[in-house]
Structure formats: structure tokens, C-alpha cells
């Protein structure tokens, strides 16, 4: 069962613009997506309320803050019961250095994105995880040498088909000439 929400072309335009310009004002956003200010604000707030927009954040240049090592770890756990996955994720979630983790298909179970100040720090983290008895069978690490892209723009038009839309209930608030 899909938990996808119904979005129309204006909802997708709002999301696409906010991905690129998260700090824009409602006036700028409304102008960019072709809506008047009031319906644009209603739509944006609704996208926030239903959890499509989870938050706003700064894109921080970590290299400007000091030495930083990014590691992708491919982790295989020894047992594949639901409780084993839950236990692994619970422990991983307690480590602030592990900024993302994905349960994946293929030759391993999890892909971890780890950001640490040094390789030595990373080694201590992995030793700690191995000693925590969360069923790590093996892990393979990939140290990032250079970040080649900083593209954090999702291809929304490929993921979400425009349908009914959040704004359908606010259509009476739209300016003349708006679909």
C-alpha cells in the first residue's frame, strides 16, 4: 500500500522551487510558481502539515569547518529477523557520526553514511559497533576522496505524478486565471 499523497502541478512547482531556494519568501515563491500569495502560502503550509516538507536546513560546507572524513560502510548483519534489523538501527541511531543509513537489497544489508574528523576516529567507531553485539557479520568501507557532486535536488516530476493536488480544496482562493 502506497502512502503517496495527491499532488498537482503547483504543489510540485512549490516543492521544486523550495529545493533550490529554501529561504525564499512567500512572495518570491508565489511569483516563481505562478500563484497568488495566499493560495501559495496555504499550499506550502499544507505540504508541511502532511509531512511532505519535513523541514528547512542549511547546506553546510564541512570542508570549511576543519578536517572531515566521509565514509560509506556496507554492513552485513548475521541474522535477518525483524528484531535484528530493529536492534541494529536502534544502536546505529545513537551515533551522531552516522548521518544516514539505508536498509538495501543486494550483497549487504545496510549502507551507512558516516562523517568523522579522522580515519582513527572512524576506526574507533567501527570497533565500538562491533563490540556492541548488534550482529555485524562483516563490513566494507569506502572512504570518500572527493565529493564530485552536491546535487541535492530530487527529480520530483519523475517520482510524483501530478494528480488532484493539495490545492484542490483551496481553488476558490486562487486568483483569476490560475488553474
How do residues 18-33 score in pLDDT, each as one tens digit?
999 999 999 999 999 9
Nearest to 75 by CA among 44, 43, 98: 98
Q: What is the pLDDT of residue 174?
A: 41
Q: What is the pLDDT of residue 145?
A: 94
Q: What is the pLDDT of residue 173?
A: 41
Cα dihedral 12, 13, 14, 17 in deg (nearest 10): 120
Strand partners, 4: none
Phi-psi label, residue 166: left if phi above 0, alpha if psi -120 to 50, beta otherwise? alpha
Q: What is the pLDDT of residue 63?
A: 87
How do residues 64-85 score in pLDDT, each as one tens digit?
999 999 999 999 999 999 999 9
Length of the chain: 179
Residue 47 has pLDDT above 70, yes or no: yes
How do residues 146-167 score in pLDDT, each as one tens digit?
988 877 788 888 888 666 555 5
**Is the distance from CB of 60 to CB of 68 less than 8 angstroms?**
no
Q: What is the pLDDT of residue 163?
A: 62
**Is the distance from CB of 128 to CB of 143 less than 8 angstroms?**
no
Residue 119 has pLDDT above 70, yes or no: yes
In whole angstroms, give the CA distance from residue 9 to residue 46.
Answer: 15
3-state helix, strand, coil in the chain (%, to 5): 40, 20, 40
| Confidence class for position 60, pLDDT limits 50, 70, 90 | confident
The predicted model scores a pTM of 0.78
Structural domains of the chain, ranges and CATH numbers in brackets: 9-58+156-173 (1.10.10.10), 62-143 (3.30.70.920)
Amino acid at each position: 500500500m502506497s502512502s503517496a499523497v495527491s499532488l498537482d502541478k503547483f504543489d510540485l512547482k512549490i516543492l521544486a522551487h523550495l529545493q533550490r531556494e529554501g529561504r525564499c519568501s512567500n512572495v518570491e515563491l508565489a511569483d516563481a510558481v505562478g500563484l497568488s500569495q495566499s493560495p501559495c502560502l496555504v499550499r506550502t503550509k499544507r505540504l508541511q502539515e502532511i509531512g511532505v516538507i519535513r523541514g528547512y536546513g542549511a547546506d553546510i560546507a564541512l570542508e570549511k569547518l576543519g578536517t572531515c572524513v566521509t565514509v560509506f560502510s556496507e554492513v552485513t548483519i548475521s541474522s535477518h529477523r525483524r528484531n535484528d534489523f530493529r536492534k541494529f538501527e536502534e544502536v546505529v541511531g545513537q551515533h551522531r557520526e552516522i548521518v544516514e543509513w539505508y536498509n538495501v537489497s543486494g550483497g549487504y544489508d545496510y549502507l551507512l553514511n558516516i562523517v568523522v574528523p579522522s580515519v582513527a576516529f572512524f576506526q574507533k567507531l567501527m570497533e565500538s559497533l562491533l563490540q556492541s553485539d548488534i550482529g555485524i557479520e562483516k563490513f566494507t568501507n569506502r572512504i570518500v576522496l572527493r565529493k564530485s557532486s552536491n546535487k541535492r535536488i530530487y527529480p520530483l516530476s519523475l517520482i510524483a505524478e501530478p494528480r488532484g493536488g493539495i490545492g484542490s480544496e483551496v481553488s476558490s482562493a486562487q486568483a483569476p486565471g490560475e488553474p
